[in-house]
Amino acid sequence: MSFLFGSRSSKTFKPKKNIPEGSHQYELLKHAEATLGSGNLRQAVMLPEGEDLNEWIAVNTVDFFNQINMLYGTITEFCTETSCAVMSAGPRYEYHWADGTNIKKPIKCSAPKYIDYLMTWVQDQLDDETLFPSKIGVPFPKNFTTVAKTILKRLFRVYAHIYHQHFDSVMQLQEEAHLNTSFKHFIFFVQEFSLIDRRELAPLQDLIEKLGSKDR
């Protein structure tokens, strides 16, 4: 949750996506922040009793976007066309960008370019009222879960890139506790609702197992 970062780093990569105050989704976000504060992340990600699953996934997806936005914003000066000429997560995993609309055939590009494409694409999805309705009573589309899964799968790649290529910089900035807590929350959430295929998580599998075992 964004409150984890306090006011130490207000720099974000893209503009923050705000959930309208007074809306039901805003109340859900406040509930999530309160349960997160208890320190039990496994419990914090569970669907609150009586709530709609799609709405819960939507609120958390927006929040993860904001968190990753802030985390990546702190290390953009280290993630350059020169230092990160390809979008990778260690030597075994390389990502090529395609959004199915503007860029249909996957293109090889630098990490900053890829992440710019990715975050802009996610922002467009979150701003689309037909996909992420913010008004009470407006139903979620039938393909909502598919869209949310794609967003979360792609956001995971930013975490993977930061961990593999920029963890030294994160440590220099003393942001590793923020990164670890944010990622642990993200992983517990996607595991709770089976939102990312296990194969997609392979670049950080060791870390995921370590985070999970600490919580048992």
Q: Are 126 and 61 in contact (CB under 8 A)?
A: yes
79 is in an annotated binding site: yes
109 is in an annotated binding site: no
84 is in an annotated binding site: yes
178 is in an annotated binding site: no
Q: Binding site: which residues?
A: 79, 84, 161, 166
Known binding-site positions for Zn(2+): 79, 84, 161, 166
